[in-house]
Structure 1
Amino acid sequence: MELGIGMFGDLAVDQNTGKYKDAGVKIREILGQVKLMDEVGIDVFAMGEHHRQDYAVSSPEMVLAGAASITKNIKLASGVTVLSSSEPVKVYEDFATLDLISDGRAEIFVGRGSFTESFPLYGYSLNDYEQLFDEKLDLLLKINSEENVSWTGKLRAPMKNQTVYPRAKNDGKLPIWRAVGGTPQSVLSAAKLGMPLIVAIIGGMPVQFKSLVDFYKQEYLAAGHAESDMQIAIHSHTFVSEDQKVIDGYFENYKSQMDRIGATRGWAPYTRMQYDGGRSKEGALFIGNTNEVADKIQQVKEIFGLTRFIGHMDVGAPENDVMMKSIELFGEKIAPLVR
């Protein structure tokens, strides 16, 4: 099983000024963190896309390209590319270029995204939310498999025997994963298309998602895809420290981000009981010491038959030194235990 780390580039609020901290500093810290991931043997890094004041990264491709130049082995993925509000030709071109820079290490996680700011920003209507994604995924997959593309949709101009360059290293093909939040229709679509599946599990209990993953497996095989090609991942909030005071203190970081998002979604304030419940053996938070986190990863590996686990590690913008230690423990302690 591959082990990865994901980030959104959360920005903390400066308590002295009341403003969000500098995005440039944050991005440079992320690059240093990815370099460390590569050094300690992490398999995958996934960079999210957001178009908000409280996140530093709106263009994962740019950050990943920066990371490609200072790493050697780690796979570099978007986590996720909000495909509904992106141009599939440009998505392919950007990631094919990243693939060439990194010598074949680029991947794309495509999804609808849990935020909608990019739709009005790029001139799209939320009324077309579902159709935009379905059409653009169809086009992206076609570009990924064919050098000369002819395609017709309803919401984008058609392509008529047009070429898309440069081509990715592996005969022009990039690994494209379908990222889902738990919608059966999305899982069914991924299964029928034979796409690798990554499920975001950030609340409740992971075992509650077992029927969804079993549904994917059933429909994947029913569609005629080879079981040996099946890839399944989960993406969950993760943080590691051997210091219990750090784990207890991380509640404040976590709560600040949950409450910031929750204020726009009608959520009640995040509580210590939720945090402790999520950290329990059955909960969805992979937050604790190395043995606790390794045991939980092993548990979900067995529940789902995972081929990959992505630990989302920067929720609430922990300080850089604390993040670096968490990454080090994940690579040097947890990975060997799980493997």
Structure 2
Amino acid sequence: MSAIEFGLDTFGGVTKDEHGAPVPHPQVIRDLVDDAVVADQTGLDFFGIGEHHRPDFAVSSPETVLAAIASRTERIRLGSAVTVLSSDDPVRVFERFATLDAVSDGRAEIVAGRGSFIESFPLFGYDLADYEILFEEKLDLLSKLLTEDAVTWTGTTRAALTDQLVFPTTANGLRAWVGVGGSPESVVRAAKHGFGLFLAIIGGAPERFAAYIDLFERAQNEFGRPHAPIAVHSPGLVAATDAQARELAYDGWFAMRRQMGAERGWPAPTASDFENEITDGALYLGSPETVARKIARTLKALRIDRFDLKYDQPVPHTVQRTSIELYGERVVPMVKELLA
């Protein structure tokens, strides 16, 4: 990755129609496919879709949606904004993404993570008491599968493999990342196994993650690994003006934060929290000029190879679509000019 890339991520959050009612899951998924086509047409570099298993997110099988996108796009790279590896099988993950890589002519990527929600663990019969060992062992196996050599592996979370080849093979290998939310142990694990680092910065000042990038680079040196790429993923919304962006996002942002806070024990959000996240935090919200300046500031503070805007804010889909167009057509060119 010789130049900074710019992408979009979505978790397939359920949008609202013009009457404020939730859009049905099938329509949300079809809208995502159309969104990716627009992203490809505006020249963006990556489109990522996350995996969830709960009613407020429509996508439980990102690879299937990405395959549909591959058939309608030409150049944009396609990947999971997270694959919940802990509750999946690494062999099947490799097979599905190798198949996507063939369908897309070499554009597939894997972002493996433990997931920010835990619904998949009981759904697929995994014990949360095994949270750490599941991810450690499965990431270790996935790293071996990515070599596309015969794999011999033993562990406690799945059947052993002996000189096992896995198919289909790929033309040029799969680019793979580990999604990290802020744990130093996860940063070191990604370096140990030779994955790229995909930082989910969803709150607070982005600059505080510079220490994690330093740690990642030091760990790669200590493990004798070549330096892998680093990406940042943060939420945002682009509108015609700062005031319009605030008005469009305000109610949905508060509703989302209250719901997540209730699930995770966070304090109730305040109006100052909203403003602080826009001005100094991880919410890239405003006019194209405002968002471009903030992204450029982040790119100057952090040594990263790709910036992904998580665009599926709790707003109507038409607002999301406008945000995608403004991001690709105006924000990204402005960022490149600011960094030139």
Q: What is the distance in 1 between the residues matched to 2:17 and 2:323?
A: 22
Q: In structure 2, what is the equivalent of residue 221 of structure 1?
A: 221
Q: In structure 2, what is the equivalent of residue 306 of structure 1?
A: 304
- Structure 2 vs 1, CA of residues 271 and 12 (structure 1 numbering), >3 Å: closer, same or farther? farther
Residue among 4, 8, 13 paired with 1:5: 8
Q: In structure 1, what is the equivalent of residue 67 of structure 2?
A: 65
Deviation at 1:151, TM superposition (A): 1.2
> Could you list the per-position Cα deviations for residues 80-138 of structure 1 after superposition, in whole angstroms to 9, with x for gaps in the alignment?
00000001111011000000000000000011111000000000001110000111111
> Could you list the per-position Cα deviations for residues 173-228 of structure 1 after superposition, in whole angstroms to 9, with x for gaps in the alignment?
211101101100111111223321011111111112221221112222232233xx
Q: In structure 2, what is the equivalent of residue 75 of structure 1?
A: 77
Paired residue type of 2:323 = S
Displacement over 3 Å in runs of 4+: 12-16
Structure 2 unaligned segments of length 5 or more: list them: none
Secondary structure in structure 1 of the residue aligned to 2:221: helix
Q: In structure 2, what is the equivalent of residue 319 of structure 1?
A: 316
> Could you list the per-position Cα deviations for residues 13-56 of structure 1 after superposition, in whole angstroms to 9, with x for gaps in the alignment?
6797x974300010111111100000000100110000001110
Q: In structure 2, what is the equivalent of residue 44 of structure 1?
A: 46
> Could you list the per-position Cα deviations for residues 142-181 of structure 1 after superposition, in whole angstroms to 9, with x for gaps in the alignment?
11113422211112111122221111221xx211101101
Secondary structure in structure 2 of the residue aligned to 1:113: coil
Q: In structure 1, what is the equivalent of residue 265 of structure 2?
A: 266
8 Å CA contact 2:86–2:114 kept in 1: the answer is yes
Structure 1 unaligned segments of length 5 or more: list them: none
Stretch moving more, 107-116 or 230-239: 230-239
Q: What is the distance in 2 between the residues matched to 1:270 and 1:185?
A: 29
Secondary structure in structure 2 of the residue aligned to 1:53: coil
Q: What is the distance in 2 between the residues matched to 1:71 and 1:271?
A: 41
Q: What is the distance in 2 between the residues matched to 1:254 and 1:66?
A: 30
Secondary structure in structure 2 of the residue aligned to 1:166: coil
Paired residue type of 1:200 = A
Q: In structure 2, what is the equivalent of residue 203 of structure 1?
A: 203
Task: Report whether the alignment pairs 1:335 with 2:335.
Answer: no
8 Å CA contact 1:239–1:326 kept in 2: the answer is yes
Q: What is the distance in 2 between the residues matched to 1:93 and 1:288?
A: 40
Q: In structure 1, what is the equivalent of residue 247 of structure 2?
A: 248
Q: In structure 1, what is the equivalent of residue 181 of structure 2?
A: 181
8 Å CA contact 1:20–1:53 kept in 2: the answer is no
8 Å CA contact 2:51–2:82 kept in 1: the answer is yes
- Structure 2 vs 1, CA of residues 14 and 322 (structure 1 numbering), >3 Å: closer, same or farther? closer
> Could you list the per-position Cα deviations for residues 55-78 of structure 1 after superposition, in whole angstroms to 9, with x for gaps in the alignment?
100111111111111111100010
